[in-house]
Chain A
């Protein structure tokens, strides 16, 4: 972990329009939760579908996508990464620092808002809010790492990330149940399922499958990103 890299990454991420985008999603979720609570009252089914569908299904991957790809992609695109790379710093340290910032963003802009939305919708009953919050936290970590990797390997990281989060996890997962085995969303839910009271949260993946996959995705993503960054070349513009 290098503090300077983390500081530059955080300023780059939060400084511009991206910061507003990151803020807009949780604000929307909280406003919607307050509205739903006001109209529909305290209801487990509603709370569950808002937190599971909107928070963990949509907001967490989007925040992870913006934070993960935004932590490195723009610097590679415009070439300013050269100032980080032309230093006697191991590449894994650069990746780790950027990952820490992306995870931090996921906690602040996705996991915490999920918790507050849960409190608004359903309070602390049946550990539903806690279960979804932990799931959001864990999904945020895995998404950050995977999307950081995408940011290093592809110039179209956002497009690939959206295809994964929206098409694969949501649409494909609905029709092809097997696809859900390879879904960060479902892995995280299986941990939430364990925390909340029985029957409150459900996941299509079993915990013994989900935990190793989460670890492999997170560590593997960071490791591959470091390896790729070590071999990053700057092609001439001539």
Chain B
């Protein structure tokens, strides 16, 4: 049982606050760190992996400070986001070097086991520079697993992976979580996170926006007013029909754009309502587009709601 605790940690770079007063506890099992790009996910992971001291607050591994504590790496496996590795080595030499650097009693056996876990034995004798992005990701993974760590930290591990590689990695991480290891990965894609992580921590603009079970996060993200822009052959008639239903909260007729700006409060019911109403009234729908579906707006809603 290994736990990472972040207690009121902030980190700023000059005038820019990257992480703002965040507290969270990452325990055994798979945790997803979700947030848009630039939210401070990497900064948090750098603090958890001892590559950045918090400007204030503490980041500890089982109660012991991680920054400047090289012994912590006996328990931590880190998969960095950056791709740079020792490209001139073969996959085997790279993983073996990592095993040796950990001072393992039998580095050869450890490297072999780690490469088998990520199913990279078939390419282990090729130079890392010849690997595809997914292969590099797997070798990075093997290098992080080579000492059988209790904690695995992965910064955007699914970036650039194809669906099959993604499934494989997810399966692997699930297995580690089930073994009782503490696995934390970051991502900016909700679907990715909820497929894998039971527990999700959401971070937006450096702040801790939400925390909990994936169902709770999904609900938070869908149960909110959604805005749509709708164009049709008869905007006024459509507006009249839609406002009668409880799933809409407000409709504005935008003459300049010749469109309806609709605020929906029940997402699922509304998406089913629009085509049905239009069909019944014989109105042609020309455009139905969500006005604020960007991840950033979803997240900022969460922050405001908190």
A contacts, CB < 8 Å to B: 2-5, 7-8, 11-12, 15-16, 78-80, 82-91, 230-238
Contact = CB atoms under 8 A, between A and B. Distances in A.
B101 A237 contact: no
Interface residues of B, number: 38
Interface in B88-139: 88-89, 97-98, 100-103
B46 A238 contact: no
A189 B277 CA distance: 94
A238 B43 contact: yes
Contacts of A84: 101
A159 B82 CA distance: 26
Interface in B34-92: 37-43, 46, 49-53, 68, 70-74, 76, 78, 80-82, 84-86, 88-89
Given A4-B100, A84-B101, A237 B70 contact: no
B74 A86 contact: no
Nearest to A90: B70
Nearest to A231: B68
Contacts of A230: 68
Nearest to B44: A236
Interface in B17-46: 18, 37-43, 46
Given A234-B51, A235-B13, A86 B73 contact: yes
Given A4-B100, A80-B84, A86 B68 contact: no
B195 to A, nearest CB: 24
A92 to B, nearest CB: 11
Contacts of B18: 236, 238
Nearest to B80: A82
Residue among B37, B68, B86, B143 with most chain A CB within 10 A: B86
Contacts of A7: 97
Given A87-B70, A88-B73, A15 B88 contact: yes
A58 to B, nearest CB: 29
14 contacts: A4-B97, A15-B88, A78-B82, A79-B80, A80-B84, A83-B85, A85-B51, A86-B78, A87-B73, A88-B71, A88-B73, A236-B43, A237-B42, A238-B41
A89 B73 CA distance: 9
Residue among B72, B74, B102 with most chain A CB within 10 A: B102
A78 B84 contact: yes
B143 A83 contact: yes
Contact of A237 (B13, B82, B86): B82
Contacts of B76: 86
A238 B101 contact: no
A104 B7 CA distance: 46
Given A86-B49, A87-B102, A234-B52, A79 B82 contact: yes
B71 A233 contact: no
Q: Which 6 A-B pairs have the closest CB atoms?
A: A78-B84, A236-B42, A87-B101, A4-B100, A79-B82, A234-B51
A88 B97 contact: no
Nearest to B50: A86
B51 A11 contact: no
A235 B73 CA distance: 19
B86 to A, nearest CB: 6
Contacts of B74: 88
B88 A12 contact: yes
A229 B68 CA distance: 10
A12 B86 CA distance: 8
A79 to B, nearest CB: 4
A232 B68 CA distance: 9
A232 B43 CA distance: 14
Given A234-B46, A237-B82, A91 B70 contact: yes
Contact of B42 (A3, A15, A78, A238): A238
Contact of B88 (A16, A85, A231, A237): A16
A80 B70 contact: no
B46 A89 contact: no
A88 B102 contact: yes
Contacts of B70: 87-91
A235 B277 CA distance: 53
A100 to B, nearest CB: 16
Given A7-B97, A80-B84, A234-B80, 4 more contacts: A16-B88, A79-B80, A80-B86, A86-B50
Contacts of B84: 78-80
A195 to B, nearest CB: 40
A234 B53 CA distance: 10
A89 B101 contact: yes
A14 B81 CA distance: 27
Contacts of B86: 8, 11-12, 80, 83
